[in-house]
Amino acid sequence: MSLTICCSRPTGIASAVTVLNPCPEDLGQIQKMVFWRTGNSTVATSLVSSDAWTTLLAATDDTKAIVTPFLGAVTIPPNEAREFGGGNETRFGSPIRKGGASVPVTANMYEEAQSSVIAALKELRCETLEVLFINEANQIIYSTASTVSGFPVCANSLFVSDKGIGGLDDADHNVLMFNLRPNWSDTLAVSAETTFALEMINA
């Protein structure tokens, strides 16, 4: 949830750092995304199964997954605090931070077919969606909120732009934009490296 709930407090403060030199977590470059309807999920062992993904991509019901084209300039920033006060409104001028804002995600799709690829992605605006990410290492970034699920996309936030003409020097592109809910990364997990994730296409 976006609001920081402080009551009731636990008996003790939870431990945060439990390993002296943990493996770093760096997602690298996001190169594709996968969308599916909210509530779809798969078991952890299926996440790295090409057969399982073939089934999801070919489905014709609520379980269907949609994979994007290759993406460029993917931006997923840290979210901003929602705050009140400062100055004489609050004690010592310290603002009251109520929680986090949603996270705006943007990406470019270069030189894609408009009447098939882009038009189909625009239709996703009417859906209630979750998103998973695929990075440069062929790993799938997912949520552990419910077995293996996607990260919830804020309702009515998904937008796919019309074609931008690059002219002589730049590439034509469409912009993909949506918002992730506050605290979206609290359940973030990264799969083992696959051999197929970046090669997936829609059936």
Summarised one tens digit per residue, pLDDT across range 61-98 is 999 999 999 999 999 999 999 999 999 999 999 999 99
Domain contains 139: yes
- Percent residues over pLDDT 70 in the chain: 98
> What's 117's DSSP letter?
I
pTM for the model stands at 0.92
Q: Which domain holds residue 44?
A: 30-199
Tokens 């004489």 correspond to what residue? Answer: 88
Residue 198 host element (H or E): none
In a domain? residue 5: no
Report the pLDDT averaged over residues 154-168: 97
* Dist CA 120 CA 113 (whole Å): 10
Cβ 144 vs Cβ 153: under 8 Å: no
113 domain residue, yes or no: yes
**Counted domains in the chain:** 1
DSSP for 20-61 reads SSPPP-----EEEEEEEETT--B-GGGTT-HHHHHHHHH--S
Q: Is residue 7 part of a domain?
A: no
> pLDDT, tens digit, for every residue of 14-68?
888 888 888 889 999 999 999 999 999 888 889 999 999 999 999 999 999 999 9
The C-alpha atoms of residue 174 and residue 77 are separated, in whole angstroms, by 20
Is 54 inside any structural domain? yes
Residue 170 in domain: yes
**Nearest CA to 179 among 120, 117, 101?**
101
- On whether residue 15 sits in a domain, the answer given is no
In a domain, 20, yes or no: no
Q: Map residue 123 onto helix, strand or coil.
A: helix
